[in-house]
Amino acid sequence: MASTTSGDRPQNRFVQWVDYRLPVFTFLNHELRDYPTPRNLSYLWNFGSLAGIVLVMMIASGIFLAMNYTPNDTLAFESVERIMRDVNYGWLIRYVHMNGASMFFIVVYIHIFRGLYYGSYKAPREILWMLGVVILLLMMATAFMGYVLPWGQMSFWGATVITNLFSALPIIGPKIVTWLWGGFSVGNPTLNRFFSLHYLLPFVIVGVVVLHLVALHQHGSNNPLGIDKKGKQDSIPFHPYYTIKDSFGLAVFLLPYAFLVFFYPNFFGEPDNYIPANPLATPAEIVPEWYFLPFYAILRSTPDLLFIPSKLAGVLLMFGSIAVLFVLPWLDTSPVRSGRFRPVFKWFYVSLIIDAFLLGYVGKHKPDATLFGIALPTIGWLGTLWYFGYFLVILPLLGFFEKPLKLPTSISEAVLKKGAGVASGAA
């Protein structure tokens, strides 16, 4: 408290000595204390730093798991069971890592949907947004390969199904699949390379996160009003105001996380993955982890499209559902960032959330099931069309047809005007 900075220069002589040679303290001071942050950020702005903390927890727990894990098709399952039974606190470290993946995706999905609502992808934050999409893709690859490592039934058959997606590509497809496997089927070479990449990719994610932060600090955080800061009165220093808010958010976040780890560690898991991988017996039902379900639904529900067979069409649309996010900043033609001031957008946004859950439901259940008497593939296809319609049709058109509400003149004015005025959007 009494140590470092009251003004611009550090007070402590040792800190001064180091800082003169390696300006870490100046850097931290600049990026945390001097860094002006909008004074009106809501709790939805906690999820960025939360994602960063979960990434660190995943890397830390993963490094210790790797000390006891054996990436070999005859030993992998046993080594995971040994972690669970014999290694000191191995069960805890593995459950923290396993459930950490789910918590990571929950945090990141909330982070993404926050950005979608408040227009955080709009100028001048397009590259910031695109780097975020890169992180999402890397996370998906990392999570998928991590799920293969225990070498249970779901690991094996999940790997088989997902790698086989690439066989849908014409001409080169089968060659790519063989290349991915390093053999004639998913086997030991596949497991080895997945382990290698599962260890590497998180550090690649760290690298992209650094770029994400550099891009963020260039123009600062967006805010619930979606308007730019106009002066000192609109912002407060990141430290201590948002460091303490992020710490509090972390403490709240750790409660359900710990509850999962200690009371329902296999809540998100599939029991079949506690059966060793068997290349001769496919499980009755192959379900991906919950965070892939909407994408899995798109993959399964896409019918034949013109001359493209449904298998290839499904693969293209599944990857397309992420690819469309890359160009989102140029699809949304409205100059208004925050959904608070967009009366029509608001409802379409809600429909996108419902659509995501609907697709998740379709991905979770068998394709021959029905919902409200309608076959799931039909619902899945409609959901897929709605997803792409939102980005490719509705957002471009809304900018022209929607009449946004009047924006507040400044953040401080809106904040200091107490009461219901701001929140309801009636201002």
d(CA 305, CA 31): 50
Subset of 215-274 contacting other proteins (CB under 8 A) = 236, 241, 247
Contact stretch for other proteins (CB under 8 A) within 56-64, 307-315, 317-325, 333-341: 56-64
Question: 37 φ, ψ to 5°?
Answer: -120, 140
Beta pairing, strands 374-375 & 36-38: unpaired
Q: Helices 90-118 and 126-148, interaxial angle, to 10°?
A: 150
Nearer to other proteins, 93 or 336 (CB): 93
Q: Are residues 83 and 66 in contact, defined by beta-carbon separation less than 8 angstroms?
A: no
CB of 15 to other proteins, least distance (A): 19
The letter for the amino acid at 105 is F
Residues in contact with other proteins, shown as a per-residue x/- string from 12 to 41 under the rule CB under 8 A: ---------------------------x--
Looking at 73, 289, 332, 355, which residue is catalytic? 289
Report in angstroms how near the CB of residue 63 gets to other proteins at its nearest.
8
Shorter beta-carbon distance to other proteins: residue 224 or 360 = 224
In whole angstroms, the minimum distance from the beta carbon of 207 to other proteins comes to: 24
Q: How many residues bind other proteins (CB under 8 A)?
A: 19
Active site residue 247: no
Among 15, 53, 66, 87, indicate the residue that binds other proteins (CB under 8 A).
87
Whether residue 217 lies in the annotated active site: yes
Given the complex with other proteins, which of 31 and 81 has the nearer CB atom? 81
Q: From the candidates 19, 73, 246, 355, give the one annotated as an active-site residue.
A: 246
Q: State the nearest-atom distance from the C-beta of 57 to other proteins, in Å.
A: 9
Name the residue with tokens 């799931």: 376
Which residue spans within 263-356 are E strands per DSSP? none
Contacts 24+ apart (CB under 8 A), 65-70: 65/93, 65/94, 65/97, 66/199, 69/149, 69/195
Q: Closest by alpha carbon to 114, among 135, 141, 138, 132? A: 132
3-state secondary structure of 363: helix
Distance CA 411, CA 242 (A): 17
State yes or no: is 221 an active-site residue: yes
Q: In the bound complex, what is the minimum distance in angstroms from residue 221's beta carbon to other proteins?
A: 17
CB of 105 to other proteins, least distance (A): 21
- Contacts of residue 99, defined as CB under 8 A and 6 or more positions apart, other chains included, come to 257, 260, 261, 265, 267, 268
Q: For residues 21 and 400, what is the distance between their CA atoms, to the nearest angstrom?
A: 54
**Catalytic residue, candidates 217, 346, 364, 365:** 217
Give whichever of 60 and 169 is closer to other proteins, judged by the CB atom: 60
Q: Which residue's CB is nearer to other proteins, number 175 or number 417?
A: 417
Site for other proteins in 57-86 (CB under 8 A): 60-61, 64, 67-68, 82, 85-86
- Which residues are within 8 A (CB) of 426 and not within 5 positions of it... i.e. 6 or more apart? 420
Residues catalogued as catalytic: 217, 221, 245-246, 289
Sites of contact with other proteins (CB under 8 A): 1, 39, 60-61, 64, 67-68, 82, 85-90, 92-93, 236, 241, 247
